Amino acid sequence: MSNFIQREHQLKGAEERPFTLDYTLLDDGKTDKPLIVFCHGFKGFKDWGHWGEVGKAFAREGFAFVKFNFSHNGTTPETPRDFSDLEAFGRNTYSKELYDLQVVLDWLSEAKELPPGLIDNRRICLSGHSRGGGIAILQAARDKRISALTTWASVARLDYSWQNPELIEKWEREGVIYAYNGRTKQHMPLYFELYRDFQAHKEEYDCCRAAASLQIPMLIIHGTEDPAVSVQAAKDLKACQPAAELVLIEGADHVFGGRHPWTQGAQLPAPTLELIRHQAAFLNRQLSA
């Protein structure tokens, strides 16, 4: 039976708002395990669906898996699996998410509360799902501590849903628009601050430009049947960074077969297993000590 080391910590993110982080690694006597730092997506959280089991699977492959909640994702440390703070969700911006990710990477770099000798924080792979993939791309382009980047069903641009001028006019006029969450039946607010923040950093937050500037290995993973983010986004990222490896998983949806809540335990869906296999092989090639 696998023995995992799992710990949770609370950090302070944007606007001093607390958020939680956890890490998982296998207690197998091996040292200096490379890190995978995972960024969740829009309307997501670190304990969504099968992400915990994905972390264990990567731990079995010899990695330490870190996941965290963005400080303004709508959850709280007390309610980590519920969108109990929609006001915070509405006030989220890309600048705040990048700030939170910086806090996580700073904490990992200091390594004061990590198991001594078991984690190699000089070998960090940044991974991001969906909108979190876009955030991961931006951070990887500007942070020399990142050794490799992998994206899972990532967007290719952060203004992916703002192409309608009438929507922008309405948003500015009313100050808020709502994103419907079909799972929770919540109408989740998005304040105009999100758009204003993006416009103020338009070049800096250009995912294609950031990807093109990368000097580290990049792996793009996407499902061919993704209904939320078209597979074209993966092809667009590949065009921006031709040196990146592109893996298209036939028949995979946006969450690679995952669901929330996850009730299958360690029995992961085939598309997720394929994702893990490709990423582990990629990192073993690129991050070998």
Give CB contacts under 8 A, 24+ apart, made by 144-147.
Answer: 145/105, 145/109, 146/216, 147/34, 147/122, 147/123, 147/216, 147/217, 147/286, 147/287
Provide the 10 A C-beta neighbour count for residue 256: 26
Beta bridge partner(s), residue 8 = 22
Lowest mean pLDDT among 122-126, 163-167, 236-240: 163-167
Domains of the chain, earliest start first: 4-162+202-286 (3.40.50.1820)
Letter string b/e over residues 224-254, b meaning 16 or more CB atoms within 10 A of that residue's CB: eebeebebebbebbbebbeebbbbebeebbb
Report pLDDT digits (tens) over 37-64.
999 999 999 999 999 999 999 999 999 9
Q: Say if residue 136's pLDDT is above 90.
A: yes
**Of 111 and 261, which is predicted with more confidence?**
261
Average pLDDT over residues 154-179: 95
d(CA 39, CA 46): 8
- Indicate whether this model's pTM tops 0.85: yes
Count of helix runs (H) and strand runs (E) in the chain: 9, 10
Which pLDDT does position 288 carry in this prediction?
80
Grade residue 1 by pLDDT with cuts at 50, 70 and 90: low
User: CB of 150 within 8 A of CB of 282?
Assistant: yes
